[in-house]
Structures are given as C-alpha cells and as structure tokens.
Amino acid sequence: MTLPVYAPTMTNDRYAHRRAEFLDQLGDTIAVIPAGQEQIRNDDVEHAFRQNSDFFFLTGFPEPDAIAVFDPGHDTESYVLFVRERDVEMEAWNGRRAGPEGAVERFGADAAHTIDEFDAWFRKRLRGRTSVGYTLGGSYDARIVQAITSAKASAERLGFPIPASVSDPRHILHEMRLVKSPFEIDALREACRISAIGHREAMKYASPGRTEGQVQAAMEYVFASLGSERVGYGSIVAGGDNACILHYVENDQPLNDGDLLLIDAAAEFHHLTADITRTFPVNGTFSAAQRAVYEVVLEAEQAVIDICAPGLPFTDMHERSVEVLTAGMVDLGLLPGPADEAIAKGWYREFFFHGTGHWLGVDVHDAGDYRIDGKGRPLVSGMAFTVEPGIYVAPEKGSISLSHAEYDADALAVASFELGASKAKADWAQAREDAGMFDFEVPEEFLGIGVRIEDNILITDDGYANLTDLVPVSIADVEALVAERSELPIFG
Ligand SMILES: [Mn+2]
C-alpha cells in the first residue's frame, strides 16, 4: 500500500544547529524531551494542537505523541525521534503523520522509531550513561523512572553503570532560547508586523454598537490573512471597565460610546509570537480623564523604551516604569503623595500590579532567567521582550485602603517561596494592618478606566529596535487612526 507523502513545510537547518549546541552542552547527560500531547476539549473533540515549545525549538517536529532523545555519548545516533507510526485509517481521520521514516528524512533524526518502542529502547540506551536529563512533572515521569529502576537491577547484577541522577535540561535550553538567532529575529519581526497590522485594523473597525467579539474577529482575520498560523495567546479585547481585568478573554460585550477599548493580542509566525497592547477610545476621542491616565502610561512606556540598550539590567525597566507611573498617579490625585512614599509603601500597586515586561519568543512569556545571582540580568543583543506599563482603576476602587508598611517585593517573593503563597499573603496583610492603615478617596472620573500600552523591543548591538511601532501610540495618531474606517464588512 502506498502512503501519501508527508509534505514538509520548512527546512531543518535552524533546528540542526540548535541540536548541535544542545548536545554539546549536555556533556554526559542523555536528555529526553517529550512533545506536547493533545488535550480533550469535549467528548471526542480536541483543543487545537500546538507543539510544546522546547520540543519544537529543537526538532521542528509538529506532531503530538513524540519523544526526542539527545545522547551525546552515542557516535552515530545522538538524535533519535520516537513518533506515531503511519496509519492510513487514522490519518484519514486525524491528519498526516511523518512516521519514523519521515522523521529521519524530513526532520533530520539520526534514527527514528515508533513511540511504543521507546521504553525498551531507552532502558538499553541507559547502559554506560551517567545522568538523565528530563524535566520532572510531565506526563512521562512514570516511564522515565520505570526505565531507570528496571535497568538498575540488571546493571547491579551484570556490573555496568547506569545513570545515578536525573537533572533538568531546561536551563540549557532556556538560555539558548533567550538570545534570538537571525532566523528567529526575522520570524519575530514578521509576527510583530502582522500583529501591528491587525491592531491597526481593530482600531479602525471598533465603533460604538459593535462588540468586542466583532473587533476580535476583524483583527484575527488580518492575522490569518497575512500568514499567521494562530494567535500567540488568547486575544484580550476589553471594552470599558473590562480593561481592569488583566486576562479578560470573554470578549462578548458591546462597545459603548465613551468607552476605551484595550486590546492585548498578537499573531504567531513560525512559532514566534508578538505581544502588543493598545488602548483607544471607541468613539475616536479620549475624554479628559482617559487622556490624563493615558498620558501617564505613555510617558512611562516611552521612558522605559528610552533606556533600553545592551548592558541595562532587566529589573531597571520596572523601576523606571514604577517611578514615572507613580509620579503621574500622584499628580492625577489617584494616590496620596509624595511619590517617594507611594513607591516605598507600594501604594502604586493599587493601580499597577503586574511587571513592566517579560521575555518574548517561542512563548509569549518566553523562557530565561530575569536575574543572575539576585541581580537584574544585563540585556544583550538578540534579547527580545515587552515593555507594558499600565494603570487600572477598577470601578470598585472609589475608596482604597493604604498602609504605612514598607513594601519589599523581593522579601515578599522570598516569603512566598518559603511559606507558600497563601501564608505569605496572610502575613503581608497582617503586616499592613500592624503598620497602620488609612483610607483614600479616588476621584470618581477615573473609575472604570484601564490603560495599558505594550510594545516589543529587540536589543541590538548599539541600542534597541521597537518592532511594533507600526501601531500608533501618541494621542493624536491614535485618534486619527480610529477615525479612519475599516474596509472590512460588518454582518448582521
Ligand atoms: Mn505582555
């Protein structure tokens, strides 16, 4: 029986050089990196499959139910894939499979077998290896432990060594993911370009009477039209006070005249994603209160982007953002002053309670350490991240309770690590009480206003590139674009 040829969609070069580097860094460790698994949505319907990021980074192999083994100790088979076997009937239902043959021919494996051959093969391959690289906590835990323990009995009788330890290979991988290769920079730029065009369309498409969902549809239509495989994360299209919910994804409310619309959404391209947020008035004109909040957030965003350069410690960006945002919030009357005190006591966290940015890449919150030995990691050329300050004045914040306790984010993080999150949270609430609390009235005109502005920054040899500046941020430019009409139709 002749099986249809599996159509390759990309070359393997970029994965080959990553594998070579990974193998080099593994030393004596044999590493096992499992693929993602399909997740049931309901009954016999699955969620759309998207490959595990670490697995994809090394293999480019798009199917579920696969395992990649990296064995630097083997001369000819240091990269072995275990994959689903070809099955005409199953493929007719659920899509094409590469099979072991395709895994070798089209995905560059030195050897490949079907996934059910993994356990016996792996047990044999453990002979003479000193450690296993595997990330505990995944669905293959039991099989890895079983392979090691069952090999141990024979190894003791026959007197050959098998691995005595399991180590997490993610640290090596995540350091590799942190600094982008030329290919990744190209793909990230394209993801940013596509995302930016989608945001521009959303700005033109939104108007009073349309819904969050309709704006989402217009934007995602643009993403797909321009070749994006999928969104990089669930689109947040939050009108009015929904903008004060950080991960609002219902996207099912009508847009009202006078509301702001916050959109945090982006397209994925070749498995790299952008991450853009813009906030704009649905009717095309900022109210005085909306404008005042927006200007503070924009000033903070630009101030942070301005300092981006090789050598800047990552944590300096958040400090700068907190300085500008807090000064602005005190000026607006959202917080009591002086700004120094509002920072030292963490009062700004009433309205700005997330980080200023995160690494960006294969994952929207990409891999890699933010600190080294407790200190902010210096930026280097090839790193990509977001800058995304915000102010969220939820409708229920008409009166806020502030404390005189000194706020120390690092100490709280350590407490959370040592005591668990709920105990640490309770202790902090008690410390706030003990230091003395007071109420503060928030001006009513700001209630229900949520603003975030987010761009994507790539560090270059001599500074930075803003990859998402195609989407306007200044008040004049935003209002001008919202005033333009989208060419896309509205149905119903
Ligand atoms: Mn983000």
pLDDT of the chain along its 492 residues, tens only?
A: 454 443 434 455 678 989 999 999 999 899 999 999 999 999 989 999 999 999 999 999 999 999 999 999 999 999 999 999 999 999 998 889 999 999 999 999 999 999 999 999 999 999 989 899 999 998 899 999 998 888 888 888 888 888 888 999 999 999 999 999 988 999 999 999 999 999 999 999 999 999 999 999 999 999 999 999 999 999 999 999 999 999 999 999 999 999 999 999 999 999 999 999 999 999 999 999 999 999 999 999 999 999 999 999 999 999 999 999 999 999 999 999 999 999 999 999 999 999 999 999 999 999 999 999 989 999 999 999 999 999 999 999 999 999 999 999 999 999 999 999 999 999 999 999 999 999 999 999 999 999 999 999 999 999 999 999 999 999 999 999 999 999 998 886
| Distance from C-alpha of 15 to C-alpha of 237, rounded to nearest angstrom | 35
| Distance from C-alpha of 118 to C-alpha of 113, rounded to nearest angstrom | 8
Bridge partners of 272, per DSSP, are 269
| Distance from C-alpha of 424 to C-alpha of 404, rounded to nearest angstrom | 18
Q: What pLDDT shows up at residue 492? A: 63
Q: How far is the CA of 76 from the centre of ligand 1 (A)?
A: 42
pTM: predicted TM-score of the whole model, two decimal places:
0.94
Q: What pLDDT shows up at residue 7? A: 41
- Count of alpha carbons within 13 Å of 389, Cβ hemisphere only? 27
Domains and CATH numbers, the chain: 13-175 (3.40.350.10), 179-398+442-483 (3.90.230.10)
| Distance from C-alpha of 317 to C-alpha of 102, rounded to nearest angstrom | 46
Contact 26, 79 (CB under 8 A): no
CA of residue 169 relative to chain centroid, distance: 20
| Distance from C-alpha of 131 to C-alpha of 72, rounded to nearest angstrom | 11
| Distance from C-alpha of 244 to C-alpha of 264, rounded to nearest angstrom | 12
Question: Which residues are part of the catalytic machinery?
Answer: 44, 247, 264, 275, 354, 358, 365, 388, 392, 452, 454
Q: How far is the CA of 278 from the centre of ligand 1 (A)?
A: 11
Q: How far is the CA of 364 from the centre of ligand 1 (A)?
A: 7
Strands 45-46 and 230-231: unpaired
Q: Report CA dihedral (371, 373, 375, 379) to the nearest 10 degrees.
A: -50
| Distance from C-alpha of 369 to C-alpha of 284, rounded to nearest angstrom | 41
Q: How far is the CA of 359 from the centre of ligand 1 (A)?
A: 9
In whole angstroms, how far apart are CA 213 and each of 186, 209, 478, 486?
Answer: 31, 12, 21, 16
Q: How far is the CA of 256 from the centre of ligand 1 (A)?
A: 26
Q: At what angle do helices 314-332 and 288-307 cross, to 10 degrees?
A: 160
Secondary structure element (H or E) that encloses residue 132, with its range: strand 131-133
Cis peptide before 338 (omega within 30 of 0): yes
| Distance from C-alpha of 138 to C-alpha of 136, rounded to nearest angstrom | 6
Q: How far is the CA of 356 from the centre of ligand 1 (A)?
A: 8
Q: How far is the CA of 470 from the centre of ligand 1 (A)?
A: 17
By C-alpha distance, which of 385, 394, 360 is closest to 246? 394
| Distance from C-alpha of 225 to C-alpha of 227, rounded to nearest angstrom | 6
Q: Beta-strand (E) ranges in 259-348?
A: 260-265, 267-269, 272-273, 276-281
Buried-exposed string 136-167: b where 16+ CB fall within 10 A, e elsewhere:
eeeebeebbeebbeebeeebeeeeeebbeebb
Q: How far is the CA of 276 from the centre of ligand 1 (A)?
A: 7
The values of phi and psi at residue 136, to 5°, are -65, 150
CA of residue 427 relative to chain centroid, distance: 30
Q: How far is the CA of 264 from the centre of ligand 1 (A)?
A: 8
Q: How far is the CA of 454 from the centre of ligand 1 (A)?
A: 7
Q: How far is the CA of 431 from the centre of ligand 1 (A)?
A: 31
Largest distance between two CA atoms of the chain: 81
Q: What pLDDT shows up at residue 438? A: 98
Q: How far is the CA of 357 from the centre of ligand 1 (A)?
A: 6
- Enter the DSSP assignment of 240: G
Buried-exposed string 300-334: b where 16+ CB fall within 10 A, e elsewhere:
bbbbbbeebebebebbbbbebbbbbbbbbbbebeb
CA of residue 69 relative to chain centroid, distance: 26
The beta-carbon contacts of 81-86 under 8 Å, at least 24 apart in sequence, are 81/107, 81/109, 81/111, 81/112, 81/113, 82/112, 82/113, 82/114, 82/115, 82/117, 82/118, 82/121, 83/112, 83/113, 83/114, 83/115, 84/114, 84/115, 85/114, 85/115, 86/3
Q: How far is the CA of 452 from the centre of ligand 1 (A)?
A: 10
Q: How far is the CA of 447 from the centre of ligand 1 (A)?
A: 24
Length of the chain: 492
Q: How far is the CA of 314 from the centre of ligand 1 (A)?
A: 15
